[in-house]
Amino acid sequence: MVTTILLSIGFGLLIALLILVFKLPTKIQYIEEIEVNASINTVYDAIRYQEKLMKWSAWPKETKSQCAVKNVDGQIGAQTVYLQKDKQFGYQEVTELIENEKVSFYLTSKAPFEQDTRLHFFLKEIEHDRTNVCLYFDNTLKRPSHIFPHIFGIIHWTHNMHLKDLAGLKKFVEQQTQ
């Protein structure tokens, strides 16, 4: 009797897990925007220069990590390396620069799930000293490990971190221009 109940529960959990594997999305994308009271050039430089980015990004503080810049800062190939206890656990690399229009990154970290993460900042001048910043997040998770970010709230947490990043960017560049 007990064995039958345990087998039924186990079988039910297995079926639920299989449903999640095939029903939960593997592609996570969103766009967030903010208007910044600063010139497009100031905003562009605050994003492409990793030394500046580390001053406004929420990630170092929230992940309790130290950061270091590798390669030529402000250029394609520049990396912000994330360290905990002097051990690298991830990095973001500048992969595309279109002056005063776009900065793109490839991101990687040690996680219990495989992923391909891209982050793009699109800039548009509204007026001489006002800039629209559009953050586009594009993450492809691999099955079956894509279940973990969904179950443990990592997707929601990451989205909130990007909202904090946009607010931090706005505050940083607006203070620079005063």
**Tens-digit pLDDT profile for residues 18-40:** 666 667 778 999 999 999 999 99
21 lies in some domain: no
Please identify every stretch of the chain with a pLDDT value under 70, giving residue numbers as ranges.
Answer: 6-8, 10-22, 111-113
Model pTM score: 0.88
Residue 168 is predicted with a pLDDT of 97
Kindly state whether residue 23 falls inside one of the protein's structural domains. Answer: no
**Is 60 domain-assigned?**
yes
Residue 81 domain flag: yes
155: which 2 tokens? 């997707």
19 falls within a domain: no
Read off the tokens for 132: 């629209």
Any domain includes 22: no
Q: In this structure, is residue 38 part of a structural domain? A: yes
157: domain CATH number is 3.30.530.20
Does residue 15 lie within any of the structural domains? no
For residue 22, what pLDDT is reported? 67
With beta carbons less than 8 A apart as the criterion, state whether 98 and 122 touch: no
Number of structural domains (the chain) is 1
CB contact at 8 A, 66 and 175: no
Separation of alpha carbons 161 and 107, rounded Å: 14
- CA distance linking residue 95 with residue 79, whole number of Å: 10
pLDDT at position 59: 87
Range of the domain at 70: 28-176
Cβ–Cβ < 8 Å for 131, 123: yes
Instruction: Output Rg (C-alpha) for the chain, integer angstroms.
Output: 20
